[in-house]
Structure 1
Amino acid sequence: MKYQQVGTTFKAVDAVARERFGNAVSAVLFDGVPLTADDLVEQPGWVSQLAVYASAVAAWRILRDNGLRPRILVGHSLGEIPALVAAGVFSVEDGARVVAERLRTLEEADLPTGRMAALTLDGQRTRRLLDLLDDPAVVVAAENHDRQTVISGPESSVRAALRVARELNAGGLLLASPFAFHNPALEPVRAPFAARIGGLLRQAPDTDVYSPILRRAYRADDDLAALLAEHLVRPVDFRGTVRGLYEAGVTTFVEAGGLGALGRCVARVLPEADDLTIRSTFTLEADGRLGVERAVAGLAEDPAPDTFERFWAAYGTRLVARVQAGLAASAVPLAGPAEPAPATAAAPSPSSVEPAQTGMPTPNGTPPRTGAPVAPSPAPAGAPDREELFATVRALYAQALEYPEEVFTEEVLLEAELGIDSVKQVELLTRVTGRYGLPPSDVRLSDHDTVGKVVDLLHAHLVSGGVSSAAA
């Protein structure tokens, strides 16, 4: 491995996994074919939970060993456990034992099946939606930003909430969480879990650790076992935490973990901020390098946002509104090939909203669309074919919207079914058409309300010879 911290962290976590579950996490993750995030959530709960924990701790150790000295540490839900380890409160092994006992206590409680779902609504609108259901078993579990609130409760009730959300033109996704976390229904588990971890050795934190659940920093005299057990029944206020940190002067956020979802949440909590620096670790950058390399390189001197980031922060909203108005006013069909655009870098690999998240129960892959050409003309030599175009566009939409890729089937309606508003659709459509040299003014939003239709547009433009292979 390039980073020895990964190997040493997983070695410590493997020892606990064998102790508690009779097998090593590494044996599942690293032996044989590498697992994707979707593959991981299909594994037993202890594998995915310990893998998420170990990844966060390993990322932190790489950053620490390369000079990172944070002002404050913050965890999200399960992430509070590796945050406490990073602050020196628990050893790596004892942090893994907390994760393991949390899962074992829940499994042994034999609770009714619970689910979680992410809605593309803010917390206030989500609560109003739940009021319509009049089902107290479904609660707000986490507020991530103004366009993402997580609910939890009995599976049938959560699915009912999703149906109501879609009727109200809001998007929603079932999460592959093994339990309905952050819900008062888990109250019977709280005391047994606290008892199991009460004897673990702990130290006073050497760095402040702020809890979005407790809405305060941990203190040296806290009863950690009781507080960690309380996490099971209390909601996460990540949105409020990020805004509070920013107002206190924190402008650099470095995510220690595998998916980059929290960094994107920070950007959505603070869209108006023009002085943010957000770094990831185990995500791939556009050039194929791990994000941790960029994060480490920036530790010595925190760089200012680049020119485009400053421009977009200042003018992005107005620019999107102008493009939207132009598209709405245009009734001109595609007039032919456009001038090729300059070559651009490939889109970064997408990631899920949550480590254990899957999409709505829609088919995976890219089934053929009704009415699609049976045998499309081949694109010019060197240009991507339709299948490659679909994969690229789907990845771009998934990353920008924090949805799993499988949500974006050929025919799913972007607004009616996924709740993606017209402003965001314009932004994405402008990005992909510009990427392939197609003038956005020639494209009508109403005619391209699915990813499949966007791909059809690009493919037709490619076949016409109007896009160079470099632009693709």
Structure 2
Amino acid sequence: MPGTVAAPRGGILGDLHDRYATVRETLSRIDKAAREAGLPDISTRLIKDNGTSDRRGPEVQYLEIFAVSIATHDMLIAEGLRPVAIVGQSIGELWALAAAGHLSVEDAVRLAVARSQVLTRQGWQGKMLAVGVDGRRAESLAGLADHPDLVLACENAPRQSVISGPEALIEHVERVADALGWPSFRLDVPHPTHTPAMAQAARDLRATAPRVPYGAGRWRVCSPWLGRDVGDDDPVDLVAGALTARVRMLHTIRDLHAAGADVFVECGEWPVVTKFVEASIPGVRCVVPLSESDPVEAVRALAAEPDGGGGPFRPRLPVPSGQERAAERVGVLTPAGPAPALPDAAPSYRAVVPTPRAPVSSTASVSYAAPAAPAVVAAAPAAPESAPESAPESAGLDYTTVLAELRTLYGDFLGYPPDLLGEDDGLESELGVESLKQVALLGRVSDRYDLPGLRANSSLLTLGTLRRIAEAVVRARREAAGL
């Protein structure tokens, strides 16, 4: 289940709310617990896009991510799928504990709010940086500064790692990575974690968080930071311990696959953890129901397959075949060869529906077969470098002209015919352009139109479409021209 990812889109749960009584009940319980914590209802914006801002504070963002994750899980269960294992990324481990029944939905809300509050009180000035290299090199990169709080925080995929540390040192790391030709991208998260700098927040959480009842859950929960299954572990200690620990998603994914998991389902809005899975274990099946045009039919089709979902799931729009498909929710570029996927500060998790290793005709039932692994943001091979862009012929003031130029630029880079790139197509959700790759493309747009400020516009990456980028270019060029 996903950790800290972008706030979900308004209305994302409308259909699930209408179809499933279990989803309605879960969302009602989350809303009640949120109100008790002094927060607004969480489900209102997710059920119907009412124009409410998705920037309502970190507690609301965390609970919206939780609501989307648990509602997706409820849908999977209602449609007859059963997890062999559930995996959460970072704070997503808390969602996994609730989904598996180790603790109640209400207690998961209380702990998520308590976690956010201690992190906000500490007010640490840190950042998290995704780097397109393996964990060993990322750890060496962090070690150059020899600072106790600058560490390798997450190992997500063979060529995708995350470094966490003080903001000033992250800036130095970013420059060194750039000099080495290693792609990197700053993660836009409310609270950077997985560093010893969070020790005070962890102590504060253990001292102040509500002690909640817990017990054996219905399903297995794999912890990427513990490196083992969750047993008789106090949820408060689990959440607090994760604040300073390294998240080894890559190892968890490989362990689950070795145990028989061949199908991974992500309980989130976008492919994040599943991209890690695809980059770590080529050929496995990854399904992200909420990124499909009809999530319910996607799940039913998976459940109806004789082999439990062994065949490949087709994306709505074609993406480059082979390993090129490994471009992530943070598009990935690699210095040489295929590039890794990039996570949000906290990579997302996916409910796992492992496929039995039996012949297609062996069984008609689908179960979250062998331990399910978390969905992972996978890295895609870096697109070939093209010649430097020449100065734009347009002044960047006309939307139609800028859009045409962007279609050509993005099409050449991604290998798409420009006319297939719709102006409202989500670059990541529909075209499969991972974050790091989007970073590189936005850099080219910035250079082409001489707009360095575009590089810092994270919203163009998390919710990027050609329309939004073209509008940003036209607006910035007009401002630069004094119009």
Which of 300, 311, 319 is the equivalent residue of 2:304? 300
CA contact (8 A) 1:352 1:404 kept: no
Cross-structure match for 1:256: 267
Which moves more between the two structures, 59-68 or 7-16?
A: 7-16
Cross-structure match for 2:89: 76
Cross-structure match for 1:23: 40
Structure 1: how far apart are the matches of 2:74 and 2:345? 20
RMSD, aligned CA: 3.7
TM-score by length of 2: 0.65
Q: Cα gap change, 1:7/1:317 in structure 2, threshold over 3 Å: closer, same or farther? A: closer
Which of 276, 290, 303 is the equivalent residue of 1:282? 290
For 1:310-329, list aligned pairs within 5 A. 316=322
Q: Which amino acid aligns with 1:372?
A: E
Which moves more between the two structures, 176-185 or 191-200?
A: 191-200
Q: Which amino acid aligns with 1:295?
A: V
CA contact (8 A) 2:131 2:183 kept: yes
Q: Which amino acid aligns with 2:252?
A: T
Q: Does 1:354 align with 2:362?
A: no
What secondary structure does 1:10 align onto? helix
Q: Cα gap change, 1:224/1:400 in structure 2, threshold over 3 Å: closer, same or farther? A: same
CA contact (8 A) 2:91 2:346 kept: no
**CA positional deviation for 1:172:** 1.1
CA contact (8 A) 1:72 1:210 kept: yes
**CA positional deviation for 1:47:** 1.5
Q: Does 1:131 align with 2:143?
A: yes
**Cα shift readout 1:359-413 (whole Å, capped 9, x = no counterpart):** xxxxxxxxx983334599999xxxx944566565995577333448576324468
Cross-structure match for 2:68: 55
For 1:387-406, list aligned pairs within 5 A. 392=422, 396=427, 399-403=432-436, 405=438
**CA positional deviation for 1:15:** 1.6
What secondary structure does 1:141 align onto? strand
Structure 1: how far apart are the matches of 2:447 and 2:434? 14
CA contact (8 A) 2:33 2:106 kept: yes
Q: Which amino acid aligns with 2:108?
A: G
Cross-structure match for 1:327: none
Q: Cα gap change, 1:387/1:172 in structure 2, threshold over 3 Å: closer, same or farther? A: closer
Higher RCO, 1 vs 2 (CA within 8 Å, ≥6 residues apart): 2
Q: Cα gap change, 1:372/1:250 in structure 2, threshold over 3 Å: closer, same or farther? A: same
For 1:32-111, list aligned pairs within 5 A. 33=50, 40=54, 42-108=55-121, 110-111=122-123
Structure 2: how far apart are the matches of 1:90 and 1:135? 37
Cross-structure match for 2:417: none
**CA positional deviation for 1:189:** 1.8
Structure showing greater radius of gyration is 1
CA contact (8 A) 1:154 1:180 kept: no
**Cα shift readout 1:174-221 (whole Å, capped 9, x = no counterpart):** 1111222111111112233124445212221111101001000011x3
**Cα shift readout 1:85-133 (whole Å, capped 9, x = no counterpart):** 111111111111111111112222x333121111111111111112222
Q: For structure 2, which runs of at least 5 residues remain unmatched after alignment?
A: 1-13, 316-320, 327-340, 348-388, 411-420, 449-468, 471-483
Name the % identity. Answer: 28
CA contact (8 A) 2:222 2:228 kept: yes
What secondary structure does 2:130 align onto? strand
Structure 2: how far apart are the matches of 1:182 and 1:240? 17
Q: Which amino acid aligns with 2:115?
A: R
Aligned residues: 355
Q: Which amino acid aligns with 2:243?
A: L
For 1:138-217, list aligned pairs within 5 A. 138-197=150-209, 199-217=211-229
Q: Cα gap change, 1:292/1:129 in structure 2, threshold over 3 Å: closer, same or farther? A: farther
